[in-house]
Chain A
Amino acid sequence: MGIQRDRVKFNVGGRIFETTSTTLANAGRNSMFGAMFDGDWNFQSETENSGGTGTEYFIDRNPDCFSVLLDLLRTQELHLPPNIPEKLLYREASFYGLLDHVRSAKWGQFNGNRLRLSRSVAGQAPGDGTAIRAGPDGGCCVAHGSMVHVYDWMLEEHPPISLDFQRVNDVGWVDSENVVISVCERLGRGNGGMGLFSSSSGELRHRFQVNHDNQIKSFTAGALSFSQDYKIFSSCRGRSNEYGIGVWDQVSGKQVDFFYEPPGWSLGDADKLQWLNGNNCLLVATLFPRKDNCYISLVDFRERKMVWNWSDISAAITVDEKRVRDAIAMEESNSVCVVNEFEDLGFIDLRVNGGSVRWSSRSRLMKGKMPDEPCYPKLALHEGQLFSSMNDCISVFCAPDWVLTSRLRRSYGGSICDFSIGGDRLFALHSEENVFDIWETPPPPII
């Protein structure tokens, strides 16, 4: 065997490390190591030998963290000794440009049946939580009253966001740098509505406006949804007849459409919007108790009409408990899944108009066991797994028959008022204590 030619020697803060340029190549071009080497991962001649003695390359950084990060480059795994604070490691990783490597090694690919509680974060906001939304890269934002607190994936808190200090109705991530919040109209003063904020600095970048008959009108923005073709949807309530769904372009920020609510139906009050990519439609759901009845419809903006709708307005309510409290469309199975306050799941066929709810027989007898301060159940869908929150736990169901496979529970903090999945993490917001939990899938086993 000859001498290995690609050996590299570092002196980091006084400690000698030896590695190979092959290992360093794992850091990628956009890292400090990428800048130190040329296109073929040979040391760039101009910088060679200049930082240290002999063939050593000196770096004035913390050697303990360097050792962790070097192992990360070697094995793609992150093992943090107890004596190193996480924050220090993140700081060092940021210096070398390895933050993304750390993040992807920290937790594994999302699987609802392998989730472990990773952390709980307590905040100081007054009042009940409204919503929690997972960001695309593992961060999240939490809405309480009129404030939205933004956390990055390291769970560092960034400056909070608020729009005229009005009550926040919904929050959404446009991308990892931008969030949109929708708030109530400030009566009589024409503010409120919707704003786009920088997630890192919290500054307001754009305020969305609604035009009715070429006049800018103030409005209350409700639920939000985003489509892959860069549109933002929101349920809007203006004066008497200005109810409906507003549509904006993400790039220009301009309003591109407004779908007025037809008489006898509800769109502007909607609790939930969901963009259906396969059908090119928007699911709009207004649920009890915001209205006395539930209205679920699919709106096709190209044809400018509601292409599917369901309501319990005509159904005689004999069994009081079967009121729909949340709904989610499942495009693979062409159905809408609904849940009532006892966590019974029901399904409505999307292929026929005016069908009825097929309640799943797997209902649990919950009567009499309700906690003092119940929260309405919520639904989420992630790659063939259906999640449903009830009281202080989240149930996981698997396709195609939606069998209950896991239950996530943590007894601190009271009922779960909202939860969200994104960036391979699940965030659950509790209603009693101001705390939210982060559930992650551990990295895959070694063998």
Chain B
Amino acid sequence: MSNQKKRNFQIEAFKHRVVVDPKYAEKTWKILEHAIHEIYNHNASGLSFEELYRNAYNMVLHKFGEKLYSGLVTTMTSHLRDISKLIEAAQGGLFLEELNKKWNDHNKALQMIRDILMYMDRTYIPSTQKTPVHELGLNLWRDNIVHSPKIQTRLLTTLLDLMQRERSGEVINRGLMRNIIKMLMDLGPSVYQEDFEKHFLEVSAEFYRGESQKFIECCDCGDYLKKAERRLNEEVERVTHYLDTKSEVKITSVVEKEMIANHMLRLVHMDNSGLVNMFLDDKYEDLKRMYNLFRRVPNGLSTIREVMTSHLRETGKQLVTDPEKLKDPVEFVQRLLDEKDKYDGIISSSFINDKTFQNALNSSFEYFINLNQRSPEFISLFVDEKLRKGLKGVSEEDVEIILDKVMMLFRYLQEKDVFEKYYKQHLAKRLLSGKTVSDDAERSLIVKLKTECGYQFTSKLEGMFTDMKTSQDTMQGFYASHPELGSGPTLTVQVLTTGSWPTQPSVPCNLPAEMSALCEKFRSYYLGTHTGRRLSWQTNMGTADIRASFGKGQKHELNVSTYQMCVLMLFNNADRLCYKEIEQATEIPAPDLKRCLQSLACVKGKNVLRKEPMSKDIAEDDAFFVNDKFASKFYKVKIGTVVAQKESEPEKQETRQRVEEDRKPQIEAAIVRIMKSRKTLDHNNIIAEVTKQLQSRFLANPTEIKKRIESLIERDFLERDTTDRKLYRYLA
């Protein structure tokens, strides 16, 4: 059996899938390919969507997805190549329109193709990680049309040319531009950026480089800025009309760089129209424009700020050092205030209250105000002037405004203690002569100084006000206890606390007998009520009202200083007195006496005395007579003392010296305070800290600080370190 006919086994492969038609895939694809042709030929109305969808579905289902996909790529590519030729053939201006038309057609076709191939898009493409149909269509358009060598450069030059024409004022078809640019954007950000934006920015930069060069040759600064602003706005508007919004920053930065940043210095320093001229000519609009444009570029604002600062410093320096302008302190301060007002106005209206500009303004003022050592004195004199008469009939608010402005200048002062010194002197004069216009204004200013510099700064000034008040009470008490004095001359005494007032030790003059008796009575009354005090008379500061009758019987009341009173009283017993006699009788110090005589004899209209020989100045051998011919239409005549309102040179020196003297204990106190907390400190640090601590009052001089340190070492407050000579130790 076994070697009988062998059965031949034939093993056939199991037929896994029964394919109905081996050419099935090919046939199905032909149908779909035909449909794609028809769609591109605008002939889709004869197609059955259901049939095509089903065919595409079947191809994917029967694992012919790859064939379907690659067929799509091939077919679409060949169509796009044909389209590309048509676009290339378009003449001149029709080029963009043709491109736009074909692009719209392609989008429509792509939508239809995607609909037909939706099943492939949904299942085959994700699992094989291929490009979805829509994106594929865009990529093929990009590669075959936009990147085709004959179209790419032509498209770019056409677009750039149109934009160039628009910049030179022509009207272009913005809708078409928008569509084409939109196409580039749809093809992906890299296409827009690489194929268009990059070149657009380059060409724009070149254009604006040329234009700015042209403008800067022929325009003044203001006009140039106007043009730059207009160009900038044009570019922004262009972006909103037909470019990608992301391009706005890029193109504006190109314009900013070419038109502003590259010409910044030239614009600022332009002859007759640059920044300084804008300041001088109050061109607020131009300044505002410059600020807004320069703000956009790096270092723009700092350039403006530097020019403003140097201009301010220079003009300020002229203002404070010009001897012509120093003649009138009130004018001087007023000019400073006007200058400040002007720049405050510019900063608020043109520089949108930029803090950095305000700081620059402040530092400039601080710089030049302190260039003139007399600034503290002048500011105090300005206040004096205002509080003496300047504020009459001015409303309370306006007073406040003026005082605030003064405070602002005060803040710039480095030597605040010098101001204090002068202010004290001027205040004393105002208080003693009763010339203050408004007590409220005086107190208001003191409150301001207090908030600015602290209690210590104003305690003495406040003491002066207290003294005035107590003196009034004392006088009332005095007359109440001496009722018999009603008929004689009236004495008003102001008792001033030593130290609070800027009194100079002065030798009292010889008062007329009537007065000295009265003074004695007051002295005994005062010392009786206040034990342990010492009274000394400051005759150089008093005033007197005296009645006088002249030759023709005319009577006048004369308002004079105490010195003048002493001189005039001598003429009750004599007709003629020579200078020497007066000096002996009164014992008034010579410079004061001369001034006093000068005001009595040499001032026209107020010359109650007559002098021989007639001359402007007082000499030691002059003789004086009562001026019988004295006439005045007023009953009361005020005879001023010829006093230099400003301090004379020696007085100035003296004040300075006193200020320096006053600073010494303050510096020492600061050193001790610092060393007490630090225990040891090296030289440089101690200088720095002392300077910082005293800054609010004055700028301490390093050499002076060094002297004070040495003095403290001598007095065993500090010692030098034995090894490091630069190190100081505090000795408790």
Contact = CB atoms under 8 A, between A and B. Distances in A.
A51 B50 contact: yes
A30 B118 contact: yes
A46 B44 contact: yes
Interface string B678-697: 00000000000000000000
B390 interface: no
Interface stretch (A55-63, A102-110, A339-347): A55-63
A35 B48 contact: no
A97 B48 CA distance: 18
B118 A46 contact: no
Contacts of A45: 45
A97 B51 contact: no
A102 to B, nearest CB: 14
A60 B51 CA distance: 8
Interface in B16-58: 44-51, 53-54, 57
Given A97-B122, A177-B126, A198-B127, A35 B47 contact: no
A60 B55 CA distance: 11
Given A30-B118, A35-B116, A201 B127 contact: yes
B127 A51 contact: no
A46 B38 CA distance: 12
Contact of B50 (A30, A31, A58, A198): A58
A36 B49 contact: yes
Interface in A21-67: 30-32, 35-36, 44-47, 50-51, 57-60
B127 to A, nearest CB: 5
B155 to A, nearest CB: 30
A97 B119 contact: yes
B48 to A, nearest CB: 5
A51 B51 CA distance: 8
A47 B47 CA distance: 6
A94 B60 CA distance: 12
A338 B115 CA distance: 53
A35 B47 CA distance: 14
A97 B119 CA distance: 7
Contact of A50 (B46, B118, B119): B46
Interface string B100-119: 00000000000010111011
A165 interface: no
A35 B50 contact: no
A44 B46 CA distance: 12
B49 A44 contact: yes
B119 A200 contact: no
Interface string A180-202: 00000000000000000010110
Nearest to A205: B129
A95 interface: yes
B123 interface: yes
Contacts of A44: 49
Given A32-B118, A95-B119, A50 B48 contact: yes
B38 to A, nearest CB: 10
Contacts of B123: 94
Interface string B119-144: 10011001100000000000000000
Given A32-B118, A35-B116, A47 B48 contact: yes
Contacts of B53: 32, 35
A55 to B, nearest CB: 14
Contacts of B118: 30-32, 35, 97
Contacts of B51: 51
Contacts of B127: 198, 200-201
A31 B115 CA distance: 9
A397 B47 CA distance: 60
Contacts of A58: 50
A439 B112 CA distance: 42
Interface in A153-210: 177, 198, 200-201
Given A46-B44, A200-B127, A57 B50 contact: yes
Nearest to A100: B122
Contacts of A30: 118, 122
B718 to A, nearest CB: 50
Contacts of B115: 35-36
A395 B664 CA distance: 88
A36 B126 CA distance: 23
A32 B116 CA distance: 8
Interface string A75-109: 00000000000000000001101000000000000
B57 A95 contact: yes
Contacts of B45: 45-46, 50
A36 B112 CA distance: 10
Contact of B47 (A32, A36, A46): A46
B126 A47 contact: no
13 contacts: A32-B53, A35-B115, A35-B118, A36-B49, A44-B49, A46-B45, A47-B48, A50-B46, A50-B47, A51-B49, A60-B54, A97-B118, A201-B127
Interface of A: 30-32, 35-36, 44-47, 50-51, 57-60, 94-95, 97, 177, 198, 200-201
**Shortest Cβ-Cβ A-B pairs, 9 listed:** A35-B115, A47-B49, A51-B50, A46-B44, A50-B48, A46-B45, A51-B48, A200-B127, A35-B118
Given A51-B50, A177-B126, A200-B127, 13 more contacts: A31-B118, A32-B118, A45-B45, A46-B112, A47-B49, A50-B46, A51-B51, A59-B50, A60-B50, A95-B57, A97-B118, A97-B122, A198-B127
